[in-house]
Amino acid sequence: MYTYEPLIYHSNRLEILLDGFIHSLDDTKANATLTDPFAPEMIVVPHQGMGRWMAQQLAMRTGICVNLVFLTPASCFWQLLRLWHGTLPEYSAHDRESLVWHIRHHLPAFIDKPDFKAIQRYLSSDNTELRIFHLSRRIAEIFEHYLSYRAEWILAWEQGESQHWQAQLWRTLAAKGALGIHWGKILDNWRRHGLSKPAKSLPQRINLFGITTLAPIHVEFIKCLTKYTQVNIWHLNPTSQAWIEYVGADSRSYYKVRGTEHPDPSNRLELDNPLLANLGHIKQSFLQQILTAQIKQSINFAYPGNANLLQCLQSDILELQDRRCRNVAQRLLLADSDLSVQVHACHSPLREVQVLRDEILRLFSTIPNLTPADIVVMAPNINKYSNLVEAVFGNSGIADGPQIPYAIANRSLGAAIQSLFSAVKFLLKLPDSRFNVSEILYLLQVPAIQRRFDIDEDAVERIMLWVQETNIHWGADAEHRKAMGLPAEVANTWSFGLNRLFLGISLAPAQKQQPYRGILPYPDIEGQEISYLGSLQAIFERLNYWRVSLLQPRTIDAWRNTFNSLLNDIFLPDNIEQDWFQAINTGLEPITARITAAGINTPIALDLFRSVVQDLLAAPNVGPQRLFTGRVTFCPLETASAIPFRVVCLLGMNGTDFPRRKRSPSFDLMTQRPRHGDPSSRRSDNTLFLDALISARDCLYISYLGSSINDNSPQNPSVVISDLLDYVNQTHRCSQHNQDASMDVKERILIRHPLQPFSPRTFDPFNTRLQSYASEWLDASQLQAKLQPIFVPAALPAPDPELRVLNLDNLIKFLHNPAEYFLTQRLGLQLPRNSEILSDVEPFSLDGLELYHLKNIMLSLVQGNNTDEFILDYLSADGIIPHGVMGRIVIQEHLGRVRHFNDILQQWSSPLLEPIEVNLDVSDFKIQGVLTKISSNGLLDSRLGKLRPKDRLGLWVRHLIMCALQHSDIQVLASRYVAEDQLLQLRPVANALEIIGDLLELYWDGLTTPIPFFPNSSWAWCNADSNFYEQWNGQNNPNPDSQDLAVKLAFRGSDPLGSRFDTIANRVFAPLLSNSTIEKLAC
């Protein structure tokens, strides 16, 4: 029988380990034991990113890469154990993904037992199936750890030792037989009865490449493997020094553990180099386990050098050297041009990505031959940055900006296509959904749903208008509301709104003016829009169907089929989206297989299946790889931390986020009785940072949130960053030629960035620490660096003479807001409008605008001589008033006032004349339009609200036109405006043409420069009203004139309340005041 000699190769460079691996493939002596030249080479890697890097490097160096199998430790060792044992299933029943379903199946029978009081409090407030599943997951996780790190406990429990609740639960799981034999049992049998011969042929050679940690059972299994196959371990060792020492059976001195028999309360190893002492726990523990076996060692370390700060740090770790020195003069000199280690403090994740882009562009100009493929950007949570990376590096709308090719790898499926992720989450909550209008309308904006139901953006915009005007708020129908424990009221539901819409296209025009069987038809649907309504109805029907269908519990396999049917029913994906859906389906396959293999076929509720899908969408390992594509690679820290890159960038290294803290449940027995080598998320993250530090070749770039975005208060970086800065601060000193020679090296390396990318500091040519390449922010920074320039520093040239011909309504529109008229009509700007937010709740009470709208509807119904009962039925059918008694109270409260207002209005009403055409020449201007609401007694207008300055202006302009026309059918040239609080009366004006001409001259000036006239504030000023400042900028005024967007823009850099303000206010309102009277009203 051939005797295999396990080998371990040490190096601090992954490239050297790869060279050694390639050499081993060609080494005749090493391959002498290989009998099958076509057998695949098995390589165990810590993650698939390492395997992808190896495959790519092998292909680049040798010209070919075939017949290599890359596996992670857990999957590899299980496959090997299956070959050895011969009868094990495809998936281990003892990993947490399988254990959770076994535990969830048996746990409910134990909950009420006295011995299980420790976990009863987890379920005290919620004993639902989902809560039990979450608890089962935590228990499965600690059981998996017991199997790997405390196998002797499991074996003792199976022998009846201990009555602890965990022991009782495990014995129940083991007694059912579904779990089968586990690692600990197999290894224990081998210890007791000798190592059995493998049932099937093992791989001829097994390589462990870049592995930094293994569970004790896996280490023991490796020792067993060395009896039957060649095992090579390619170990990325940060130091060439003997940082542990162990005396082997052959009396040779390998390593001996220093201070690691028990967990060190100081969390430091007894090493000279403080960085490795803080970060090297896991690597040292791994070496300690491996080197307990008789194993041949090969060493090939590369000295990084001392040319820059990064190399000094790597050299210190390599040689276990501590260069800290109290005497500043004896410290190493940090060159002014040394950018090899950078730490950037920002205010937000967005600023981190913006600064990163600038610094990458700077590195391209300073590091020779640097390419995007040489740069990796990692973060503890890459999903937090993925959308920001696409926004900043995608250069949206910046065609002439420098383009940096990039790829985002291993982000979760949920972060890959956010709109689909949100839509799928909502669909899986349909049975619990209120069918809020905001939720349903969001679905209509998802492209895949638009394609399925044949709607476009125009359709969505029209549907949103229908939803608003038919007063849909929430609920599928009356039965849906009843099922939620509320009154079975149909008003304001989707069924209510759709019935209104369909009645609107079904009834004759004359029938649309009154309720039909308690439903008020919606009249405003044009012929070509009927297809939109059909699509809306189809979407509602499908959602309502799935709302009911998903209530039924199903087996996991049935849920998977149902889920696929749901997706096919609602979405019509494009190619990219189809890949996304396929990834979800692929991710569900092993989950279904494990549950089926466990023999658990009981139905589960939707909330449990939803939790499974959401966990799948949040998992990073099912996302697209996109590694090493020749572009800047963005990925999670776990994916590429040990892989060498010329530039290694770390984002999100915040004190609260890294190292990540994972709290173990209080019933985890391992935390109560810890051992050296136990898994630790904190130490795992420390190892990731150590790997990143030693794998950077030219630059290590680090950023974190160093200042609060709210109050600019300082925030701490990760402790590993603080330790790094403290070490550097005591080993190096700044150059005396540096303009910041007096600062500590820590402050030299740490760059604090301003809150905004357009800060003048980022474009200061004399500030070499802050340099921005974002030309799109340059103009903004220049504006901020000096006083804000006047928006219109000088009057524009006279406009086109065609604008001297204007509509009557346009003159009124100009006086209502001259600043907005100038911006939109002269400059052609489109100002954003505040779109009304659709409410997800039915009306319980009415605010000012809603009440104003209601009273106007009531007024039109009162003027139609309708009864109070008809008005109540009409408004109920419209859905505008609260349901039931509350609606009657609202009607009773306001209907009397509306009738009283109508009585006052009727006192001044006369039979209306036909609209009078306006075609009036005034100096060089011509006013055109139509005068309406005219009788023989003059002009009458009204508003069921308080009289506003804008109401006065509108009536005044039309009154002047009426006086100027001197129409023969108008016997009295008087105008009246009836409001709730006042009656405004205007007398005949003899010089109407002169006043109109002056207003037109003001209009003409307003087309060349912004006119400081603001109806509310100007009216208060002319009346010496103490309310002036409230109108202009009052805290109690929700819409002060000074905050109007058009006013802020048009008068930027100038004082709108200057001398012209007083002149123009009097110019407009003085004639109105002298020709008007006011009478108080009480409506």
Query: For residue 858, how far is the Cα from the chain centroid?
Result: 45
For residues 396 and 425, state if they share a domain: no
d(CA 334, CA 322): 17
What does the longest C-alpha to C-alpha distance in the chain come to? 126
- The reported pLDDT for the residue numbered 526 is 79
- Which of 1073, 941, 1076 is CA-nearest to residue 1018? 1073
d(CA 977, CA 986): 9
Q: Which amino acid is located at 723 in the chain?
A: D
Q: Which two tokens stand for residue 20?
A: 């050694």
Cα–Cα distances in angstroms (integers) from residue 12 to residues 318, 319, 735, in the given order: 7, 11, 30
d(CA 418, CA 1057): 48
Name the residue with higher pLDDT: 790 or 815: 815
For residues 45 and 101, state if they share a domain: no
d(CA 374, CA 628): 9
For residues 607 and 657, state if they share a domain: no
pLDDT at 498 > cutoff 90: yes
> Which CATH number do you get for residue 727?
3.40.50.300
Number of structural domains (the chain) is 5
Model confidence band, residue 741 (pLDDT cutoffs 50, 70, 90): very low
For 1034-1080, the pLDDT digits (tens) are: 777 778 888 888 898 888 878 888 888 999 999 999 999 999 999 98
- The reported pLDDT for the residue numbered 192 is 84
Contact between 250 and 294 under an 8 Å Cβ cutoff? The reply is yes
Residues contacting residue 975 through CB under 8 Å, at least 6 positions apart: 938, 939, 940, 941, 955, 958, 959, 962, 985, 986
Model confidence band, residue 955 (pLDDT cutoffs 50, 70, 90): very high
Residues in the chain, total:
1083
- 1043 φ, ψ to 5°? -100, 5
For residues 820 and 941, state if they share a domain: yes
Task: Examine the fold and report which residue of 130, 153, 180 is the final residue of a domain before the chain moves on.
Answer: 180
For 961-998, the pLDDT digits (tens) are: 999 999 888 998 999 999 988 999 999 999 999 999 99
Q: What is the mean pLDDT of the chain?
A: 86
- DSSP one-letter code for 840: S
For residue 424, being part of any structural domain is answered with yes
Model confidence band, residue 834 (pLDDT cutoffs 50, 70, 90): low
- DSSP one-letter code for 970: -
Q: Give strand pairing partners of 793.
A: none
CA atoms within a 13 Å half-sphere pointing along the CA-CB vector of 813: 11
Cβ count within 10 A of residue 547: 19
CA atoms within a 13 Å half-sphere pointing along the CA-CB vector of 705: 17
pLDDT at 460 > cutoff 50: yes
- DSSP one-letter code for 1056: T
For residue 868, being part of any structural domain is answered with no
Name the residue with higher pLDDT: 543 or 253: 543
For 544-588, the pLDDT digits (tens) are: 999 999 999 999 889 999 999 999 999 999 888 888 888 888 888
d(CA 500, CA 876): 12
Contact between 444 and 455 under an 8 Å Cβ cutoff? The reply is yes
For residue 320, being part of any structural domain is answered with no
For 170-201, the pLDDT digits (tens) are: 999 888 766 778 888 888 888 888 888 888 88
For residues 1026 and 1007, state if they share a domain: yes
For residues 18 and 38, state if they share a domain: yes
For residue 191, being part of any structural domain is answered with no
- Which of 145, 130, 99 is CA-nearest to residue 600? 99
Sign of CA dihedral 146, 147, 153, 159: positive
Residue written as token pair 């395997």: 51
pLDDT-wise least confident of 54-68, 287-301, 678-692: 287-301
For 674-694, the pLDDT digits (tens) are: 888 888 899 999 999 999 999
d(CA 815, CA 733): 68
For residue 847, being part of any structural domain is answered with no
Model confidence band, residue 256 (pLDDT cutoffs 50, 70, 90): very low
> Which CATH number do you get for residue 478?
1.10.486.10
Residues contacting residue 519 through CB under 8 Å, at least 6 positions apart: 496, 499, 500, 503, 877
d(CA 543, CA 549): 10
Contact between 763 and 359 under an 8 Å Cβ cutoff? The reply is no
Task: Examine the fold and report which residue of 153, 180, 207 is the final residue of a domain before the chain moves on.
Answer: 180
d(CA 270, CA 276): 10
> Which CATH number do you get for residue 57?
3.40.50.10930
For residues 743 and 808, state if they share a domain: no
Distance separating the N- and C-terminal Cα atoms of the chain: 110
- Which of 9, 29, 31, 30 is CA-nearest to residue 20? 9
Contact between 61 and 26 under an 8 Å Cβ cutoff? The reply is no
Q: Which domain holds residue 823?
A: 787-842+902-1083
For residue 686, being part of any structural domain is answered with yes
Residues contacting residue 609 through CB under 8 Å, at least 6 positions apart: 428, 554, 556, 559, 563
For residues 206 and 286, state if they share a domain: yes
For residues 438 and 582, state if they share a domain: yes
d(CA 711, CA 606): 44
For residues 996 and 982, state if they share a domain: yes
DSSP states of 594-639: HHHHTT----B-HHHHHHHHHHHHH-GGGS----SSSSEEEEEHHH
For residue 384, being part of any structural domain is answered with yes
d(CA 845, CA 835): 21
- DSSP one-letter code for 733: E
Q: What angle do CA 622, 624, 625 make, to 5 degrees?
A: 105
For residues 503 and 593, state if they share a domain: yes
DSSP states of 181-203: --HHHHHHHHHHH-PPPPSSPPP
According to DSSP, the β-strands at 1076-1080 and 982-986 are antiparallel
d(CA 824, CA 834): 16
> Which CATH number do you get for residue 124?
1.10.10.160
For residue 885, being part of any structural domain is answered with no
For residues 945 and 1062, state if they share a domain: yes
d(CA 927, CA 378): 67
Strands (E) in 826-909, as ranges, are none
